[in-house]
Amino acid sequence: MGLEVKGIIPAMVTPLKKDESLDEEGLREVINYLIEGGVHGIFCCGSQGEIYSLTDEERKKVIEITVDEVNGRVPVYAGTGEVSTQKVIQLTKYAKDVGADAVSVITPYFIRPNSEELYDHYKKIAETVDIPVVLYNNPGRTGVNLDAQTVSRLAEIDNIIGIKDSSGDLTLTAEYIRLTPDDFAVIAGRDSLILATLLYGGKAAIAATANVAPHLVVDIYESFVKGDIKRAREAQFKLLPLRLAFSLGTFPVVVKEAMTMIGKPAGPAKSPVGGMSEENREKLRSILKELGLI
């Protein structure tokens, strides 16, 4: 549909104020920090963006602000996933109307649709709203897995243009690539597997760590494109401790605390997620120092 999915697309945090209300000024600052870091797109309202805890109005506001601040510099991907098909369609229509370039739709959560129900869910969304759709598989969060055969069928629909795979299962990622056309974009959703996905034939990464270290994550992709696999691997290994640090706190607070440490607006995570322990903060601070970010 005219959109080339490529490169590093940060799974952007949603900056909040101390009272957990949306920090519009902070959101605009983060967007510019990421673009200055060389990223190839912006993904708002994803898992790292706390999509599950934002009100409908907050989500709409984040999408609207993101489109406005990006102002065409890179493509904007808006997360419009929800439990019900109709609610996804409503949010997707809104994203299209305010100027998003594409939407990303995570599998329904809480319920456990079978493969045929998932196929019908995404088909109806794609046929109802004329905007590029990126599927989003994150079974660790939703309990629902998009199998490769279902993705292969969905890839035949014109405006379903790719899938973000956060399963961490590289065999599944490879199957997505093997069973879909060359112009269907398989996107790394696990930051530790960016280079591996690219080597298999993936097109991009939607990376939460890019909120903190955009230049480093971009270096993985740019080095790969230039054929400098050694440098790409070095950048991937350098990034790995930051991705592994996600275990130091309740998702998604680690990235938000890291951003605060490097002087970027992020604020707290939405309750009931709390902050990190002081011991784990020190571990995270050490990682950021090693990366030269503080």
What pLDDT, in 10s, does the model give residues 29-51?
A: 999 999 999 999 999 999 999 99
| Mean pLDDT, residues 62-85 taken together | 98
- How confident is the prediction for the chain on average, in pLDDT? 97
Question: pLDDT of 74-109, one tens digit each?
Answer: 999 999 999 999 999 999 999 999 999 999 999 999
Residue 1 has pLDDT above 90, yes or no: no
Q: Is residue 271 part of a domain?
A: no
Q: What pLDDT sits at residue 2? A: 81
> Mind listing the pLDDT tens digit for each residue in 135-153?
999 999 999 999 999 999 9
For residue 73, what are the domain limits? 7-228
pTM recorded for the entire structure: 0.95
Residue 283 domain flag: no
Tell me whether residue 248 is in a domain: no
Catalytic residue status for 289: no
Q: How far apart are CA 108 and CA 84, in angstroms?
A: 7
Catalytic residue among 164, 203, 256, 264: 164
Q: Which of 119, 136, 176, 221 is catalytic?
A: 136
CA 202 remoteness from chain centre: 15
Residue 47 placed within a domain: yes
Query: Residue 236 falls within a domain, yes or no?
Result: no
Whether 136 is a known active-site residue: answer yes
Task: Give the domain CATH number at 190.
Answer: 3.20.20.70
Count of domains observed in the chain: 1
Q: What mean pLDDT is predicted for residues 209-228?
A: 98
In a domain, 2, yes or no: no
Question: Per the domain annotation, does 212 fall within a domain?
Answer: yes
